[in-house]
Structure 1
């Protein structure tokens, strides 16, 4: 796909559409001559060079990658019109696209019925899910694992609810025995389960937690912002296949959040929230004296806490799904490549004499640390920090990230480590780009080289 060609086609198509309404000369107040623009553009592109190469397999650090070319073209084309998906009169075409794309997401998770929409981020999507939880269980709090994203604690504060962090097991998953103890108090109305923590990629046992949902009458909200799309690999053949039970159980949960700007190949920001019961739309009910007048059909702004939202985000997702639908044969193949990359690198690390796995990857996040002597938390922390810093410099860079593991988490996984501190940083690589599958050996060789350098 020639991105430059299709970007040109995008501007031509929108200009042709606009010309049908007659001439519309730009106002003098916004006119800028090419020489002035060239000067500003040169400074602009120069500043953008101060970035890490998120597109390249050398970059194996944070959860960052470029959007698919189809998403770029879809976003640019719709952005030239600049629709607002709050009300149908603000973006009739992109509002329909949003509904169709959201319906595909709902089908991916097995929802027979749903109410949902796109958001500007996973943070806002989770805020909306917790807002509905508060309305349904007033006066009760929210439980989430201690390894869950920090957004849940922050949004509980915003909503005036009490957050209850629950300890995790030695794989970074919510400890259901601890959750059971908490639910017995009656203080919790909603449990947040994470399918793919942002630190380790750990998947909470959703299927097992459903028993507690029935026993205590709580809601279950699934935070799949990072890992939700991995449901496409549930029960798949091959090494990349995932145990299906946690993923199939999502269909019986009350709500789910997923971020297409992560594994859905979209630009920032594009999140989504889905509710299994469309009846929760009553909590969003409001009116406006100057919107919602073009149709008696439900407007997206009537089921959203956000007001203005870029219709271009919906357009980008819709166009991408036309080419790579959220099915095992479509987008699932992209996730399978990242999963295989993580498993292959884990094998190389296991066989290495200078690196050790911190935890076996569940999705596409690999965590590891230099095999230092003496094997103390302080020595591991220093070695990890050195590899991170040295990897970003020189003629053969590799871009990694680190994860802070506390003393209890570390020793639960590696009993032979001397705990001479409160914790240690380990190296962390997110292999969410499918191109990483063919670059694992080079990544591993470079990290081994860095780890050997004292």
Structure 2
């Protein structure tokens, strides 16, 4: 079995195997006509379950043939222009090349003696990103697995920097008085982080949003003052630059002013909106982000990188010490004095992939402007889509997009009850997915079911959007017609 170990003796085997795999994927990409085949769980699960993992095929070609049957043929392909569902982007080729390199070399970014140049590349990219944000000369950060981990680490730092947080660590005091303020449409990971950080169920205070789904600063000021009067400690305010459902960007300058006035840590969740950091035309939409104490960025959303590629950035590098633990076998304290750069000193993870390489090769091949142009294209496309929806009497669209998300629902011409409209929209989404012709997402607004386009593919056109809207309307009308027939 040593013939399968990647080393100097098996380099040719590696080249042949990887080339065959790449050719399979390339052929599939070139011939994919729909984003999804419509396969069901009941149809696909038996194919996977009947494979005996204790009886290997002993042949790469046979294994790839099998993979075609259980995965490649029925995968959901984000590169297709009618995949319009979640925050999944088509990926750029330089990043895919980086993925191949980092997987083969298999560096681990926890310590210098496992990564060498990989550590320096990651650190350089962190510096590049903090400079783009404008966090200042003392800024730092580290790559993470995604926005959820980045938000968790940022809020850990905020907790430890708060007076009750320090007291709890040093004296065993209670954390019950700590509060996190975030908009009512912020990412669910804020509440999850609060739970993981040992805070109470009421620790996250939802701040109302305006008609554009942006945090209302008057409401934020009210909640901050209420915390003060009630003897509670606002541990952090989480502002969102690109909410998952609406792509809305909170008023960052005003929120930063309030955080400065009340002495509260400001975290900006820019997992989605970070693509504006590379934008030539829309960078001003992130004005105020430079005043954050910490920022989440997801390169695997709006920088067109493969999963996973994310980072948490901080204004003050010293705050990262709250994630630092020293192990004699890995990163003993003496290494700090010897100025050996161990990234595990900053990270919640120990073993960690060299995901930074993907972004590095992207920037060295395409440049930041190249990334920014792609993100600008999808933002412009969303504006076109909004105009289509606003002019179409069949649909109700919620907000004008700040990024590349559209939330809407089908409204039938004939008067019908809101529950039937909900069911018609749910049916349309499921029927569309089952057909494989397009993939769209869904959410709730005001307790009602809506549909969602998340536009992250520059190859998607206004004609694609119009065609998918027709498909949605057709499925919804079919449902309403059939339900009337059943009722009669």
User: Structure 1-normalised TM-score?
Assistant: 0.82
2:409 is the counterpart of 1:369:
yes
Contact 2:157 2:319 in 1 (8 A): yes
Specify the alignment match of 1:47 in structure 2.
Answer: 70
Counterpart-to-counterpart distance in 2, 1:50 and 1:141 = 45
2:303 is the counterpart of 1:264:
yes
2:403 is the counterpart of 1:379:
no
**Partner of residue 217 from structure 1, selected from 263, 277, 286:** 263
Counterpart-to-counterpart distance in 1, 2:105 and 2:111 = 15
Counterpart-to-counterpart distance in 2, 1:283 and 1:392 = 45
Shift of 1:452: 4.9
Shift of 1:94: 1.4
Specify the alignment match of 2:360 in structure 1.
Answer: 318
Per-residue CA deviations over 1:80-122 (Å, capped at 9, x if unaligned) read 1100000011111211111122222112212222110100111
Cα RMSD (Å): 2.5
Per-residue CA deviations over 1:200-234 (Å, capped at 9, x if unaligned) read 11111111112211221111100011222224447
2:157 is the counterpart of 1:132:
yes
Specify the alignment match of 1:111 in structure 2.
Answer: 135
Counterpart-to-counterpart distance in 1, 2:56 and 2:426 = 49
The runs of 5 or more residues in structure 2 that have no matched partner are 1-6, 15-54, 166-174, 482-488
Counterpart-to-counterpart distance in 1, 2:204 and 2:410 = 36
Shift of 1:371: 2.0
- Counting only pairs closer than 5 Å after superposition, residues 283-294 of structure 1 correspond to structure 2 as 283-292=322-331
2:351 is the counterpart of 1:308:
yes
Shift of 1:145: 1.1
Counterpart-to-counterpart distance in 2, 1:97 and 1:154 = 31
2:211 is the counterpart of 1:165:
no
Of the structure 1 ranges 72-81 and 442-451, higher mean CA displacement relative to structure 2 is found in: 442-451
Shift of 1:448: 4.5
Shift of 1:15: 4.2
User: Structure 2-normalised TM-score?
Assistant: 0.77
Specify the alignment match of 1:203 in structure 2.
Answer: 249
Counterpart-to-counterpart distance in 1, 2:441 and 2:104 = 36
Contact 1:95 1:314 in 2 (8 A): no
Specify the alignment match of 2:187 in structure 1.
Answer: 149
Task: Say how many residue pairs are matched.
Answer: 403
Specify the alignment match of 2:33 in structure 1.
Answer: none
Specify the alignment match of 2:217 in structure 1.
Answer: 176
